[in-house]
Amino acid sequence: MRRKIVAGNWKMNKSFAEAEDLLNELYDALEEQTPSNVDVVVCPPSIYFEMAVDFSETGIISVGAQDVSKYENGAYTGEISAQMLSGMQVEYCIVGHSERRKYHSETDAEIAQKTDVLLKHDITPIVCCGEILSEREKNIHFEVVKKQISDALFHLDPLDFAKIIIAYEPVWAIGTGHTATPEQAQEMHAFIRKTIEEKFGKEIAKKLPILYGGSCNAKNAKDLFSQADVDGGLIGGASLVAQDFVTIANAF
């Protein structure tokens, strides 16, 4: 059976006091409704890692970062390295989110470098891919996603590839309320798995967790997670409301 994962991407939200409240609420709600066999990950802004890691010591949640520097260390003002994340007990890191591709011009080559530094420091990369609306309308979404994945990940050796998680996030669904239908999600997830099988073989493809992201919420998570190749979610807006996030983590 594949690992199931629900990760909350807080993005640049919550004041210090609000972050503390949300973590407390999450802790209470998860204690009451603990999902079984699901890795629950919270990805707050980096300034809140210490606070989140304190909660993660309860064993109920793990902490993830939203980004990492592609460099090991050095004169890169404002950046945070994989080694620093690892020292803070951050276990996961989102890479190649569409907001970073769009607002920070992040390329697949940089996503490849970030994946490498994370793996080197034993942090699990959650590598995002997904087409924009015009690409879906032109019916080129499969080739767009295949290129993103191959450019960012096909340089890995199979042992390293086996440590990563992929998140399919159609950009037109992120923060818009226009969730992909369960069928659209399943179709792309199955395609991604087939693409991985062709490159890395059946065993590795079978074990790869593929998360869906894009307006996944407490109402639609069950239908999405019931699809054969959907192994969980990368949750934005709904991860900012403790009860919604916990409902999603229990939606398998």
Q: Which is nearer to ligand PGA, 9 or 115 (CB)?
A: 9
Residue tagged active-site, from 91, 97, 110, 121: 97
Q: Which residues of 94-105 are buried (b: 16+ CB within 10 A; e: fewer)?
A: bbbbbbbbeeee
Stretch that binds ligand PGA, among 48-56, 59-67, 143-151, 230-238 (CB under 6 A): 230-238
**Of the candidates 35, 64, 96, 236, which one interacts with ligand PGA according to CB under 6 A?**
236
247 interacts with ligand PGA by CB under 6 A? no
Is 155 an annotated catalytic residue? Answer: no
Is 31 an annotated catalytic residue? Answer: no
53 interacts with ligand PGA by CB under 6 A? no
Torsion sign across C-alpha atoms 202, 114, 118, 26: negative
Residue nearest to ligand PGA (CB): 236
**Of the candidates 175, 201, 203, 219, which one interacts with ligand PGA according to CB under 6 A?**
175
Over the window 4 to 23, marking each residue x when it contacts ligand PGA by CB under 6 A and - when it does not, the resulting string is -----x--------------
Q: Which is nearer to ligand PGA, 117 or 238 (CB)?
A: 238
Tell me if 103 sits within 8 A of 135, measured CB to CB. no
Tell me if 220 sits within 8 A of 178, measured CB to CB. no
Q: Which is nearer to ligand PGA, 205 or 230 (CB)?
A: 230
Tell me if 103 sits within 8 A of 171, measured CB to CB. no
The maximal CA–CA distance of the chain, rounded, in angstroms, is 48
Q: What is the closest distance, in whole angstroms, from the C-beta atom of residue 213 to ligand PGA in the complex?
A: 4
* Cβ atoms within 10 Å of 70's Cβ, excluding its own: 21
Q: What is the closest distance, in whole angstroms, from the C-beta atom of residue 240 to ligand PGA in the complex?
A: 9
How many binding residues for ligand PGA (CB under 6 A)? 13
Q: What is the closest distance, in whole angstroms, from the C-beta atom of residue 165 to ligand PGA in the complex?
A: 13
How far are the Cα atoms of 29, 72, 112, 178 from residue 15, in angstroms, in the given order? Answer: 21, 29, 32, 28
**Of the candidates 30, 129, 174, 205, which one interacts with ligand PGA according to CB under 6 A?**
174
216 interacts with ligand PGA by CB under 6 A? yes
**Of the candidates 91, 110, 135, 169, which one interacts with ligand PGA according to CB under 6 A?**
169
Which amino acids are annotated catalytic? 97, 169
Q: Which residues bind ligand PGA (CB under 6 A)?
A: 9, 169, 174-175, 213-216, 234-238
